[in-house]
Amino acid sequence: MNRLTISEEQKAFFHNHGFVVLDTEPLIKDSVLLEALKIAFECCFRGDFDTGIYPDEWHWRQGISRPDAVREICNGWKSDAAVRRVVLSEEVGSLGPQLFDHWQSSRVAQDDLLWKVPASVSTSMRSTGAGSTDAANGFSLAAPTHEIPKEEGKNDTTDNPHASSSVGYHIDSDYISKQFLPTEDNSITVWIPLDDADVENGVLEFVAGSHKYETELEEAKRDLKARDEGGSSFHGGGNALLDALREKAKRTDHHANNASTTCTSEKNASTSTSPAPLSVARYRIPAGYCSIHHQNTLHGSGPNRSPLRHRRALVVHLLDGSVRFRADPDYIYGRYKLNNSAEVREEFFPTTWRITNL
């Protein structure tokens, strides 16, 4: 692991646009650790947990789930030593207080192991219903083959029935930040690809500046819910929330009229170009590097269209270490709230960095 220092330029970019790619050096520069994490993904998704403890959530089962679906495990740090080494590291924990001056410590809200398998590997599985197996480890590597061109600025899930490895546009505060008090600026998301990530294999996409449109986002979600179209989405995919936000924003902000622009960088330097408000920003992020986004930044990702390349990412959601539970958290986080107590327990949300670590 590598201790990163966030520059003032990167910090300003984060607060202005709601995300930043840390492009000067990798967070994980040890190639052995990167390979260990890839093995950990294989083991965890086939139910082989080296700690003997199941993760809190496990979405995707071999032989049951759609082979082309996004594979997700939550809180793999409880189940695998290599994942734990990264998620609970000071190197990751130190990133939150560098972006928010009021953070005196960081704790882990949850992690995510996210996997989009290559597009071509599932050709036989989709046509015959049989699985394609990696001879080295017996693990299914199935995913759809599709050659439908990607429309500029589109997440690609709405019009493409085969694009089930897309992640729908959503905001993390709906799942995480709003479970705790104080809610404002209490969470960030650190996204670490284990494979070189780009548009072809479904890199993370940010809606630039969307964290500043909190009121419009809430209105957009209410409208979608009223029309029974859903609000924020993850496994469901789709662009509904992005489209609704842009419509709301046009009424209050003339800058949002440029929102159809897509900012795609073939380099890592996200601070070199300022994306237009509410445009979709994509950047090539090498394996082991990371991006960070704000709790209220709308984001998602397209499908993995690469015939051979995987897109695996280890995601760490960090909380301000001083937060307390709200009175009535949603059921997932509510499992960890003790009766008659707002305490956020170390056993479930471990502290990974304190100001005394400096």
Residue 70 within any structural domain of the chain: yes
Residue 195 within any structural domain of the chain: yes
How many residues are there in the chain? 358
- Domain extent for 259: 8-332
Residue 346 within any structural domain of the chain: no
Residue 301 within any structural domain of the chain: yes
**How crowded is residue 212: how many other Cβ atoms within 10 Å of its Cβ?**
20
- What pLDDT does residue 234 have? 57
Buried/exposed code over 159-183 (b: 16+ C-beta within 10 A; e: otherwise): ebebbbbbbbbbbbbbbbbbbbeee
Q: Which two tokens stand for residue 245?
A: 């936000």
Residue 358 within any structural domain of the chain: no
Residue 353 within any structural domain of the chain: no
Q: Which two tokens stand for residue 347?
A: 């056993």
CA distances from 148 to 56, 144, 157, 160, 162 (A): 35, 12, 11, 8, 9
Q: Which two tokens stand for residue 155?
A: 């997440």
Report whether 233 contacts 166 (CB < 8 A): no
Instruction: Label the pairing between strands 167-170 and 299-301.
Output: antiparallel
Nearest to 270 by CA among 19, 27, 1, 8: 19
CA-only gyration radius of the chain, Å: 19
- What pLDDT does residue 279 have? 94
pLDDT tens digits, the chain, 358 residues: what are they? 999 999 999 999 999 999 999 999 999 999 999 999 999 999 999 999 999 999 999 999 888 888 889 999 999 999 999 999 999 999 999 999 999 999 999 999 999 999 999 987 654 445 444 443 333 333 333 332 222 233 334 444 434 434 578 899 999 999 999 999 999 999 999 999 999 999 999 999 999 999 999 999 999 989 888 887 654 455 555 788 999 999 999 887 655 655 555 666 655 555 767 899 999 999 999 999 999 999 999 999 999 999 999 999 999 999 999 999 999 999 999 999 999 999 999 999 999 999 987 6
Residue 167 within any structural domain of the chain: yes
Say what the pTM is. 0.86
Nearest to 131 by CA among 72, 60, 54, 237: 60
Phi, psi at 286, each rounded to 5°: -70, 160
Residue 357 within any structural domain of the chain: no
CATH of the domain at 62: 2.60.120.620
Per the structure, how many domains does the chain have?
1
Q: Which two tokens stand for residue 134?
A: 């990696």
Q: Which two tokens stand for residue 138?
A: 């017996």
